[in-house]
Amino acid sequence: MTIAFSVCAVIDRTTQFEHPADQPADGFNQQQHLSFEVSHRTVLHGFAGYFKCILYKHITMSTVPADHSEGMFSWFPAFLPIRQPVTLSEGQQIVLGVWRCSQPRKMWYEWSCAIHGEAEALTVQYFPVQNLDGHSYSVNL
């Protein structure tokens, strides 16, 4: 299993080293921006969420379809819908921003996507940030 370490936002104890102890919760607030190439005409309804995990050294488990641990059914994928389905054509890019936010008593995700045209600078469509401030969904801490 390979996890592309370089492109990941890293949450670990290092973060806590760098931040003063009076704002420990920020250690787990992260954001990530991803860009997906569209290879064929299709429609976007949302995003499927998976995970990979290194239990110990070479012993791993994964729900990512390409290397799903065979026969493991504890976890179903996650689904993050977008506000309005959008038709995409070949060559366009889906640009997604994801935020992991937390307050002392709750944690939530926000996401927002934009569709870029074939030319880099041309943005076809923007969507507002979803679940802003944990309005519709949050996990209690």
Partner 1 sequence: MCLASLPSDRTLPFEVERTKKAANPTRKNNSYLLGEKSWQREFCCPSASCLLRLLALRPCPSSFACTTMQQNLLRLRNKAPRKRKASQPEADLAEDGSEPCSIPFVVGSDCCQVLDVASTLAHAGATGQNFVMVPLFHERLRRSDVQRGNGLITRSEMELPHEDWVGHVVGKFSRWIDMDSSSSLVRQRAEVAFMDEYAYAAHLGLQAIVFAPHGCLGANSLRNLKLALTRFSATSPQIWLSLAFSEHGSPWPEWDKARQSLSHDRRLGVVLDLTATSLPNLDSTPTISAWAAEPLKAIVIPTSLFRQNRTGSALVVGNKSDRSLLQWFTHRGVHVALRGAATQQSDVKEMIRALSSMHAKSLPLSSPQALQREFNSKYRDVLQSPLDPLCVNLDSETYQVMEEDPVKYELYAEALHAAMRDIRTQADSSATTSSVLRVLVVGPGRGPLIAATLQRFRALRKQLQLPSSQWKLQVVAVEKNRNAVITLRNRFADFLAKGVVQIIAGDMREVLARRGTSREGDGALHEKVDIIVSELLGSWGDNEASPECLAAVQPWLQPHGVMIPQQYCSFLAPIAASKLWMDAREMFWGARGSAAGKEGLDCPYVVQMESFAPIASPQPVFQVRLVRQFTSLFFLLHALYL
**According to the binding rule CB under 8 A, does residue 7 interact with partner 1?**
yes
Q: Using the 8-state DSSP alphabet, how is residue 121 labeled?
A: T
CB 43 within 8 A of CB 86: yes
**According to the binding rule CB under 8 A, does residue 74 interact with partner 1?**
yes
**According to the binding rule CB under 8 A, does residue 125 interact with partner 1?**
no
CB 24 within 8 A of CB 74: no
**According to the binding rule CB under 8 A, does residue 140 interact with partner 1?**
yes
Selected binder of partner 1 within 26, 46, 114, 125 (CB under 8 A): 46
Q: Residue 100 corresponds to which tokens in the numbers above?
A: 């992991």
d(C-alpha 131, C-alpha 47), whole Å? 15
d(C-alpha 54, C-alpha 32), whole Å? 21
* CB-CB neighbours of 101 under 10 Å: 20
**According to the binding rule CB under 8 A, does residue 20 interact with partner 1?**
no
**According to the binding rule CB under 8 A, does residue 26 interact with partner 1?**
no
**According to the binding rule CB under 8 A, does residue 133 interact with partner 1?**
no
Q: Which is nearer to partner 1, 4 or 121 (CB)?
A: 4
Q: Which is nearer to partner 1, 54 or 122 (CB)?
A: 54
